[in-house]
Structure 1
Amino acid sequence: MRESLGADVGLGSERICEIFAVCFAPSHKTVLIGGGEEPFYQPATEFGGHHKVVFRADYAASALHEVAHWCIAGEARRQLPDYGYWYEPDGRNSETQRIFEGVEVRPQALECLFSLAAGRLFRVSIDNLGGDSLDPFPFQLAVWQQVQCYLRRGLPERGEQFRWALARASGAETDLTAVNIPLEYIS
């Protein structure tokens, strides 16, 4: 079933950056850049400069994830480094991990839809290899439920613009009403 939804041979990180640039460099003065040691959002530091969404190495999944955060962040958040959010590094305890997962539901659901549009597989990221071990199913279910919400109600405006551009570039389905994502896909 996973293979029929995304083959993970879809759009690569360079093409994802190009699509992002076409969608948002002129209108939002924002570019997507790979090669980062860690993902980070940097608002423009000079008048007329571009904001930078930096993703890890050349990983397409990281690019799609960081774009999801950018698409959700409001105007005020996009004026702050890393949108003004906290990040608790790997090694979180159970309580901190659940808080982290609560913040990650919406971006990971959007990333899931971007992955499908780009012809890539999606995997939920728990992002806590050195921390407390928790059952991942509640988080996977929450992400799937948010995906279903996006399918019913629509995506944030920038998210839909980017998802549609990815789908057009990869040849994936552009109509969200035609998309059916089973819970098994969110793993």
Structure 2
Amino acid sequence: MNHSPNDLIMLFNDQFREAYRTVLVKGSDEPEYLPASDPEGLAQVVFAHGYYASALHEISHWCIAGEYRRTLHDYAYWYCPDGRTLQQQQAFEQVEVKPQAIEWLFAVAAGFRFHISVDNLSGAGAANEERFRHNVRIQAGEYLDRGLPPRAQAFFDTLATFYGTGEILEERWQEDARRIAPLYSESGHSRKTETL
């Protein structure tokens, strides 16, 4: 299956440009969110290097940002770049559970391979990678059971329709959950998970 970021741009912009005055845009280095600079302008969800996975991740952040946060640069979320201390990494892992859970479900709907990211390669690494994986899996499962936030649900449904994955979503989710964050009962008493 071909996964072009241009498809994500088209799908996102078709769905949200008018209703939310927001567009998805390819960036170069760092991803960021740029609120509209005037009432007639458009906010921009900028993803890094034209990467498909980066686009899914940045869309997931946008989907959970409230109305006020969407008026602020990068939603005014706390962020500390790669190279975090253990304490900073613990805070990062707490705030990344929901966006990564949504990103994971977007990837499943698109038939795209998802990877958990602790995003701290030059720092102390993960604070507790197994717990983080488990928390993301639990959150994604809750979203599947109870529904995603409204904008995320709308985009999830759009991806499933566009990529034709609707009938196999549950099966793909179960396979991915076992691959990325197996429960003790699924792992044959082995806690080994996919490497980043």
* TM-score normalised per structure 2: 0.86
Structure 1 position 37 matched with structure 2 position 32: no
Contact kept, 8 Å, 1:151 with 1:176, in 2: the verdict is no
Amino acid at match of 1:33: V
Number of the residue aligned with 1:66: 58
In 2, distance between residues paired with 1:96 and 1:183?
Answer: 28
Q: Which position in structure 2 is the counterpart of 1:161?
A: 154
Which of the numbers 116, 123, 148 marks the counterpart of 2:108?
116
1:41-60 correspondence to structure 2 within 5 Å: 41-60=33-52
Corresponding letter in the other structure for 2:162: A
Number of equivalences: 179
Aligned AA (1:71): C
Letter in 1 for 2:180: Y
Instruction: From the superposition, tell whether residues 16 and 112 of structure 1 become closer, same or farther in structure 2 (CA, over 3 Å).
Output: same
Distance between the aligned counterparts of 1:150 and 1:109, measured in 2?
Answer: 8
Q: 1:119/1:171 Cα in 2 relative to 1: closer, same or farther (>3 Å)?
A: same
Residues 4-57 of structure 1 deviation map (CA, whole Å, 9 limit, x = unaligned): xxxxx4432110010001110010010000123101000000221100000001
CA distance in 1, matches of 2:28, 2:143: 29
Which residue is equivalent to 1:78? Answer: 70
Q: How does 1:87-126 map to 2 (within 5 A)?
A: 87-126=79-118
**Uncovered stretches (5+) of structure 1, i.e. residues with no partner:** 1-8
Is the Cα contact below 8 Å between 2:97 and 2:135 reproduced in 1? yes
Superposition deviation, residue 173 in structure 1: 1.4
Normalised TM-score (structure 1): 0.90
Q: Cα distance, 1:87 vs. partner?
A: 1.3
Letter in 1 for 2:86: S
- Provide closer, same or farther for how the CA distance between residues 144 and 167 of structure 1 changes in structure 2, counting only shifts above 3 A: same
Q: Which runs of 5+ in 2 are unaligned?
A: 182-193
In 1, are the aligned partners of 2:33 and 2:75 still within 8 Å (CA)? yes
Identity %: 43
- Whole-Å Cα distance in 2 between the matches of residues 174 and 73 of structure 1? 29
Contact 2:30 2:47 in 1 (8 A): yes
- Of structures 1 and 2, the one with the larger relative CO (CA 8 A, separation 6+) is 1
Which whole-Å CA distance do the structure 1 matches of 2:173 and 2:25 have between them?
31
Question: 1:90-148: CA deviations, max 9, x gaps?
Answer: 11111110110100000000000001111100000110001113341111111001011
Q: Secondary structure at the match of 2:23?
A: strand
Partner of 1:25: 17
| Larger CA deviation: 177-186 vs 120-129 | 177-186
CA distance in 2, matches of 1:22, 1:159: 15
